[in-house]
Chains A and B, each alone.
Chain A
Amino acid sequence: MTTKSPTTIAVGIGLKAEHMPDIIADDTALDFVEVHAENYMVSGGPALRQLTRVRDRFALSIHGVGLSIGGAAPLDQEHLDRLAALLQRFEPAWFSEHLAWSSHGGACYNDLLPLPYNPATLVHVCDQIDVVQERLGRRLLLENPSTYIEFATSSMDEGAFLAEVATRTGCGLLLDVNNAYISAVNHGRDPWDLIVALPPAAVGEIHLAGFAEDRDAVGDRLLIDTHGAPIAEAVWDFYRRTLRHLGSRPTLIERDQAIPPLAVLVAEAQRARSAWVDAAAWTEAAS
């Protein structure tokens, strides 16, 4: 192996309103922050002013949660217009959305729901992503979801589906390592199957988060993607293995519930930095 490993990894956190004053005031050791697009789709006021100040200090990632790319219906053009305006205003380094649907028949469920993976849904999702990338005039990173059920009509693995979407549309991928782990446990699979199926060059960002643990009707583990706890040790291990495979990727810590002080999240981001140092050393030793 002759590829020289990058010496650094960019780390960031999902920015919550609670941390806004601290992040603007402090000299935080973060390379980037990520915000949800929908939280800044407002007419005016402090939120947009604060995001401008954040944008002056950090690289910005804008993460959409409401586009419903996997929805049966055509994309909401009004929402696309709002997204376009937001991206034009803040010019983020990355824009990402989910392989999921969240609205149907004019109602928004505020949750990321799963879809079957087969050649027909692949064509539909690719068409939707073409519309998005054309309207926004930029590349989208598509995130793998955490899922709790599967479909009899699925004929493709999630990894193969995402790889094909990336190849056909030219979109990038946001690899949520926690989601990959959760879905693998929830469906009795090996999480590594997803990682190796993805074209490495397409993966533009990694997400890490914590989950909660439940049981299904027969008592098997059912992991729930709560973003409400520290990242599990098993996911850290899986992350290091993923880095050894992919190389350095901007990595984001997500916490949406039971939000701790900013310093706790920054420490988790620093741990991702250390994980990269470990992974890079391992790769050097192995080559």
Chain B
Amino acid sequence: MSTLEPIQVGLSNALLAPERPLPPGVITWNGSDPSVRFDVYRNNVVVSLTTALAEGFPVTRALVGERFFAAMARCFIADHLPSSPILSDYGDALPDFIAAFPPAQGLSYLPDLARLERARVQAYHAADAPALTAQDLACQLANPQRLSAARLALHPACIVLVSEHAIVSLWAAHQGQGRIEDVDLRRAESALVLRDGDAVLVLPLSLEIGHFLVALAAGAPLGEAAEIAAAAGPDVDLTQAIVLLIHYGGIAAWHTPGDL
């Protein structure tokens, strides 16, 4: 609409930039400076989005402190306004933003820690899907030579993370599990984030299993994923990986080439 467009362009431009003048035609009943009143809107946008990020990244926020987090969030918001009004989707881009944010360069583990927190929110809201049970999978043993070529679809609420840093221990330390001081940040760690009933669990994995599941999640066939796991380290316990997946309903589908 021609009468709304210019004023909404002008107000949008002024929302994230307090120094920008308001578009013409913004008035107040008592002749007071409309920009001071418009500050309420400026404030609403920044504070509400900062609060949204803080709620989605509580450990990231605890690590850097409230003041740093708010300042970082403000920089993030200026670059990445939400593209949809669904706030549970807001924050996908924060981990990469942190990785490129100069003041956070000293905390090399922070982007992956933020990815872990993001994964928890994504897992919580992920689609529901039936999972394959041990009974469903028993038939796969009839043709063991075909196992290597099988591809698994992980449940939508299963997210695998592998980090060069001890993000799982660090996150756990913020849940009262272990001391922050004792976390050896140089230790690479892996986790499987998944939904169990109404709860979101963070299950620590060995790095080998972490790489195995990352490969499966990326669509690699079982055999290739097993070789990737073997290359990642000596302690490849595929049984445990499969047990974990079956127990937590992590396998949504099992495709063997040739099957319809």
Contact = CB atoms under 8 A, between A and B. Distances in A.
A–B in direct contact per CB < 8 Å: yes
Interface of A: 38-39, 41-47, 49-50, 65-68, 70-72, 79, 82, 101-111, 113, 115-116, 118, 120-121, 124, 148-153, 186-189, 214, 216-218, 220, 222, 224
Given A43-B156, A109-B45, A216 B88 contact: no
B88 A42 contact: yes
Interface string B152-168: 00001100000000000
Contact of A103 (B26, B32, B85, B128): B85
Contacts of A124: 1, 3-4
Given A43-B126, A116-B3, A152-B27, A216 B36 contact: yes
Given A72-B5, A187-B29, A216-B32, A107 B82 contact: yes
B109 interface: no
Contacts of A79: 84-85
Interface residues of B, number: 52
B7 interface: yes
A151 B85 contact: no
Contact of A44 (B15, B34, B81, B125): B125
Contact of B85 (A42, A102, A105, A113): A102
Contacts of B34: 149
7 contacts: A43-B126, A47-B124, A67-B85, A102-B85, A124-B3, A148-B38, A187-B29
B234 interface: no
B52 A110 contact: yes
Interface of B: 1-5, 7-9, 11-12, 15, 24-34, 36-38, 40-41, 44-45, 48-49, 52, 81-88, 123-129, 156-157, 195, 197-198
A111 B48 contact: yes
B73 to A, nearest CB: 13
Contacts of B24: 152
Contact of A45 (B8, B38, B126): B126
A41 B86 contact: yes
